[in-house]
């Protein structure tokens, strides 16, 4: 029993020290609705439900975004996610970048997005077959199909 309490105190000590390690900031930049992506209602609903936490400036930060070690992963996902694709500043992207991102979105919903570590805690964000079809239809401008170049 003595050993248990010793290990417990060491663990708590380590976790306390973790809290002092600097990490990415946790902020939501100001929102300018005129710059937000414009898409049909059903597409927007899916983006907002499943993607906005990492791909917009309207992140709903969970409590564990303030607790190391979880906060390192959560904040990194949001910073990297916004860098890759930010629906809140979509209108600032060039036409070329929008096209490229739409292709990338088409591909991402097949497997990669939302990230699995996110789905584990946000089961609602999981995309149904129907959701994927809606997104892919939008991303391919109604064609429902996109030529994928293998890179």
Q: Give me the residues that bind ligand HEC (CB under 6 A), please.
A: 50-51, 53-55, 77, 80-81, 84-85, 104-105, 108-109, 113-115, 118, 127
DSSP state at residue 126: P
Cis peptide before 69 (omega within 30 of 0): yes
How far is C-alpha 85 from the chain's CA centre? 9
- Closest approach, Cβ 9 to ligand HEC, in A, equals 33
For ligand HEC, the closer of residues 13 and 29 by Cβ is: 29
Rounded Cα gap, residues 29 and 107, in angstroms:
28
Element (H, E) at 117: helix 116-121
Structure tokens given for 40: 């049909």
For ligand HEC, the closer of residues 65 and 85 by Cβ is: 85
Rounded to 10 degrees, what is the CA torsion of 43, 49, 51, 53?
150
How far is C-alpha 134 from the chain's CA centre? 19
How far is C-alpha 69 from the chain's CA centre? 18
For ligand HEC, the closer of residues 68 and 79 by Cβ is: 79
For ligand HEC, the closer of residues 3 and 142 by Cβ is: 142
- Closest approach, Cβ 79 to ligand HEC, in A, equals 8
For ligand HEC, the closer of residues 65 and 127 by Cβ is: 127
């Amino acid at each position: 029993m003595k050993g248990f309490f010793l290990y417990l105190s060491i663990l708590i000590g380590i976790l306390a020290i973790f809290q002092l390690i600097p990490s990415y900031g946790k902020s939501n930049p100001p929102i300018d609705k005129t710059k937000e992506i414009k898409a049909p209602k059903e597409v927007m609903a899916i983006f907002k439900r499943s993607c906005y936490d990492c791909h917009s400036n309207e992140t709903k930060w969970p409590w564990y975004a303030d607790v190391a070690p979880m906060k390192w992963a959560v904040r990194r996902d949001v910073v990297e996610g916004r860098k890759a694709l930010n629906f809140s500043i979509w209108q600032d992207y060039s036409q070329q970048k929008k096209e490229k991102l739409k292709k990338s979105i088409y591909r991402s919903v097949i497997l990669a997005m939302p990230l699995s570590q996110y789905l584990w805690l946000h089961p609602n964000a999981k995309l149904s077959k129907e959701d994927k079809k809606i997104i892919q239809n939008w991303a391919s401008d109604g064609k429902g199909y996109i030529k994928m170049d293998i890179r």
